[in-house]
Structure 1
């Protein structure tokens, strides 16, 4: 089945995945980090202090996700979606009215939990569970919601900050979600395929099976797979959070970086779709190691980009990052149902989602401490390169051992 044929038959429900994934952008670091300068000034914080607040808020949201994410296995999708989007709306309004550090912390916690955590969890779990034979394609289409938000939100956020103010921009986001976003995802989610004895292509469906969370935790291969899948988001979160430092050190403009996100988003879409095709043809396990190639290239390029023109350097850097994120997003979403089935997918994804949030919660604080202690942005990039090469080596050894045991 081609992408066009699949879209014709499943446009509405895959549209739910796209929009839910896009709404997670309000709680993602690439949006929140654009407000760093204003937050530092408004609340009189140091880089390391803000990084610590952000990290604790993220870590707390990850702890809660291990419990809240379970409910997608236990309640109707429309109920789960409504709770998630209403929580995201409340967090936007809280950010708009934050006047002290406690309110700021609560706003960041809710943005991370309902945005980055539950919106992406709802999209990935619902889509992966709904489709079997064409799961790679379906998840690739849902993953396009992230580049959609990455291409639009930074430009919109910068425009609103400059013209309305940083807190007023969050009021605009909250009103948009309340009157447009929430009704839209509810309508799209009503097209959720009804469980039946046939797949989406008309072939006979297999009974829903899978390992429980405890069974997954007893599988030793789960840990190197998880470590590799988490490496790129963890490191990129730290770098994203300090992008204002990068442009300041090199004399580049933040507006050029925001524009580079548009090319990043376009490339991410095409790479995500191609990765979905390759997963359906081979497997997520087979494709996974190749996702490290672009990010290794991005780190090497960035370390040697000082003398290059600003626009060329930023657009090349973000293009390579887009290739990595587009491939790892689709591959990571396909990996867990492929390895462990779909019966307890919500439980497993809430666990891996919590691991993801735990990992990314450390990056802003650690990067802030390192920068405050005298590190440069290039030092952070070099460390990221070393960690990526290590986790890739560990994954390749795991795959070799896995093949020898099978």
Structure 2
């Protein structure tokens, strides 16, 4: 009953968060990969050449987020939301009309920046700021937009590419985002909690807050060097295994159909752990739970060392999904607890930059290792070692004070 009451009283704000994380799917790897055969065929790009274009666009978007993401702390949320959604529309159109690889690069850059980066950033930052009580549940419910996108968009987009071609599919995606803009603003303005409503219009930073919110100051905090390494490792290694899952299947003699169908384990693990993390964070705090979130991924990767049976893939992909789902909630709750809600947008913009950056370096690391003759078992051993070191480092978070940046 308490959960039902919570959802009813916060339905519009949580709905806003879900919508934005869902729309961020248009800039996520799992959607862009659906256009990969079309891009390679039209632009005559090899796997390696496209990887360079994609990683370069991703890295550039990561550095851009550090600057642009901070404006959510200084601009009315309705204006910031519209600007981000219009940005995604513009770059979807640019990508649809790309006739040169340079324009392809620009289009991918914008989709990664405004889609994967800023739309997710706007959603989760808003949940962290608006909800003091039930913050964990708000972030976990809003993050379900990712799972909804993973469940439905691949089928829709593949069908669109088949029937109307990749260019018109991108244009239809732009139209869909455009239609969603008034709905997103409606969900914000429908809110009747005036205490939360005032947070739509951030107060100007004090001199001390401006200093604390700068990337240079955040980089000097202990909390950053405790939380960041685990976040980077999870995103880089998880993305690497997801991107090369078909090659892993080939090495293990798993059929492509099984590998594709088994991805359901990732989506289920991600969604369920996301929800569970929200409830646990509200009870035990995100700070206290943060050191645990790499454990499921470690177990999944360790299974690669035990067998080549098909169950290993389910454990692997499910473990990565649980780590990603659990971590996306726990990390953001911990950041809000430690840094406070006033500068959370600036803090998250820096962490979002790192997350996007790591999704670029992860595939490059995996590709280099595989091209150099290393096996997936070798990569698994290295990954487990990194996860163990990051977990040990994350345990230092217990000594940090809540709402402190010392």
- Matched residue count: 392
- Structure 2 matches for 1:346-365, cutoff 5 A? 346-365=345-364
The match for 1:297 is: 299
Which stretch of the first structure deviates more once superposed, 287-296 or 92-101? 92-101
The answer as to whether partners of 1:34 and 1:154 remain within 8 angstroms in 2 is yes
The match for 2:57 is: 57
The answer as to whether partners of 2:72 and 2:345 remain within 8 angstroms in 1 is yes
The match for 1:70 is: 70
The match for 1:336 is: 335
State the Cα deviation string for residues 189-247 of structure 1 (Å, max 9, x = none): 223565539999xxxxxxx9975335433222321211112221121122223234334
Q: CA deviation at 1:250?
A: 4.2
Distance 1:224 1:137, change over 3 A: same
Higher RCO, Cα 8 Å, sep 6+: 1
Q: Provide TM-score, normalisation by structure 2.
A: 0.87
The match for 1:212 is: 213
- Structure 2 matches for 1:34-183, cutoff 5 A? 34-179=34-179, 181-183=180-182
Q: CA deviation at 1:304?
A: 4.2
Structure 2 residue 242 is the aligned partner of structure 1 residue 233:
no
Separation (CA, whole Å) in 1 of partners of 2:39 and 2:357: 23
Q: Please report the RMSD computed on the Cα atoms of aligned residues, expressed in angstroms.
A: 2.9
Structure 2 residue 274 is the aligned partner of structure 1 residue 275:
no
The match for 1:190 is: 189
State the Cα deviation string for residues 333-357 of structure 1 (Å, max 9, x = none): 1111100101111111111111222
Secondary structure (helix, strand or coil) at the match of 1:196 reads: helix
Separation (CA, whole Å) in 2 of partners of 1:371 and 1:158: 29
The answer as to whether partners of 2:13 and 2:191 remain within 8 angstroms in 1 is yes
State the Cα deviation string for residues 73-101 of structure 1 (Å, max 9, x = none): 12221111111111112222222232221
Secondary structure (helix, strand or coil) at the match of 2:341 reads: coil
Which stretch of the first structure deviates more once superposed, 79-88 or 208-217? 208-217
| Uncovered stretches (5+) of structure 1, i.e. residues with no partner | 201-207
Separation (CA, whole Å) in 1 of partners of 2:375 and 2:174: 36
The answer as to whether partners of 2:31 and 2:153 remain within 8 angstroms in 1 is yes
Which stretch of the first structure deviates more once superposed, 28-37 or 337-346? 28-37
Distance 1:290 1:193, change over 3 A: farther
Runs of 4+, deviation exceeding 6 Å: 197-200
The answer as to whether partners of 1:54 and 1:365 remain within 8 angstroms in 2 is no
The answer as to whether partners of 1:244 and 1:254 remain within 8 angstroms in 2 is yes
The answer as to whether partners of 1:84 and 1:119 remain within 8 angstroms in 2 is yes
| Uncovered stretches (5+) of structure 2, i.e. residues with no partner | 200-205
Distance 1:95 1:369, change over 3 A: farther
Q: Provide TM-score, normalisation by structure 1.
A: 0.87
The answer as to whether partners of 2:191 and 2:197 remain within 8 angstroms in 1 is no
Which stretch of the first structure deviates more once superposed, 237-246 or 255-264? 255-264
